[in-house]
Amino acid sequence: MIAGIRELMRPPPGLDFDFEHPAGEPALAPAGGVSWRVFANPVSLFIGGVAAVLLELAEPSVRSGVWDHSSFRRDPSMRLRRTGYAAMVTVYGPRSTAETMIARVVRMHEKVHGETPSGRPYHANDPELLDWVQATAVFGFCEAYSRFARSLSAEEKSAAFAEGQAAARLYGAAHAPTSWQEWEHLLGAMAPRLEGSPILTEFLDIMAGAAILPTAARPLQRLFVRAAVEITPEPVRSLPQLQRRGLRRGEAALVKALGALAERVPLPGMPPSLAARRMKALA
């Protein structure tokens, strides 16, 4: 089961980066920091990623940008693998590699623009939208890890936001939250703009039914999607599209058991272990 989920950490076509070299080169996120622990757990990585996208899709401009210009509907498995692996490069990859990858993403986003159904213009490189996307990602991964793998203190959650600042600035998110308190402030400020949409339902149905995990692990895939809904904060958690789609009675304990198991399973050949070897090579 864990091996199947771990496959999401393997590189998709065109994103096979070298995490082990050059020896000693630091990553954007500090070695051994909270982010390095959080991203090494494939269970919370899956759950947190889904929760982050739910928050992003609740914002109309981000929703239009993502849904009109991405491959979520055509090939959700590949889109998820590419997004997840890019996050791995941001956290574990050599700084020079991560900087090059992010610059390429920024150039691609420069072409993403349009109008929401209500006629509001949007641009993927809008700093305000970038702040929201960066913040929701850090929240999703940290909250999933804290709820289902190993509890994080408020200080550790704040540290994760601070550790993401180097990458945030490269993406253009100049005012992304630097602490848990700043995240809560941003969530409150964004709340009036967050809304329901049939796209939320479509996204959840895709994530529950697409061939993302191996066939034998598909029931767990649906469980993890429900866990993502469970940790999504208000006001998004109460939207009609998320009603009755959270965890059922007794399922939280199962997800926690799986998250704890994933903490103990080694990840040889995966970005976390390769990055650790890169840093140890300097000693």
Q: Count the Cβ atoms, other than its own, within 10 Å of residue 181.
A: 13
Confidence of residue 4 (pLDDT cuts 50, 70, 90): low
The pLDDT tens digits of the residues spanning 48-102 come to 999 999 999 999 999 999 998 877 777 887 778 788 888 999 999 999 999 999 9
Helix (H) or strand (E) holding 122: strand 121-123
pTM exceeds 0.85 for this model: yes
Note the pLDDT of residue 170: 98
Cα–Cα distance for residue pair 11/257, rounded to 1 Å: 27
Residue 113 φ then ψ, to 5°: -155, 165
C-alpha radius of gyration, the chain, whole number: 18
Contact 243, 262 (CB under 8 A): no
Residue 123 φ then ψ, to 5°: -145, 130
Cα–Cα distance for residue pair 235/281, rounded to 1 Å: 46
Note the pLDDT of residue 5: 63
Answer whether residue 282 shows pLDDT above 60. Answer: no
Note the pLDDT of residue 241: 98
- Domain with 135, as residue range(s), is 2-280
Residue 241 tokens, joined: 């599209």
The pLDDT tens digits of the residues spanning 18-35 come to 999 999 999 999 999 999
CA atoms within 13 A on the CB side of 20: 7
Cα–Cα distance for residue pair 272/92, rounded to 1 Å: 6
The pLDDT tens digits of the residues spanning 180-230 come to 999 999 999 999 999 999 999 999 999 999 888 888 889 999 999 999 999
Contact 148, 106 (CB under 8 A): no
Note the pLDDT of residue 267: 80
Note the pLDDT of residue 246: 98
Q: What is the dihedral sign for C-alpha 146, 82, 3, 27? A: negative
Q: Count the Cβ atoms, other than its own, within 10 Å of residue 192.
A: 8
Residue 118 tokens, joined: 């209500």
Residue 273 tokens, joined: 């272990």
22-to-15, 36, 167, 202 alpha-carbon distances in Å: 17, 18, 19, 42
pLDDT: is 266 or 53 the higher one? 53
Number of structural domains, the chain? Answer: 1
The pLDDT tens digits of the residues spanning 159-183 come to 999 999 999 999 999 999 999 999 9
Note the pLDDT of residue 18: 92
Nearest alpha carbon to residue 275 among 6, 36, 43:
36
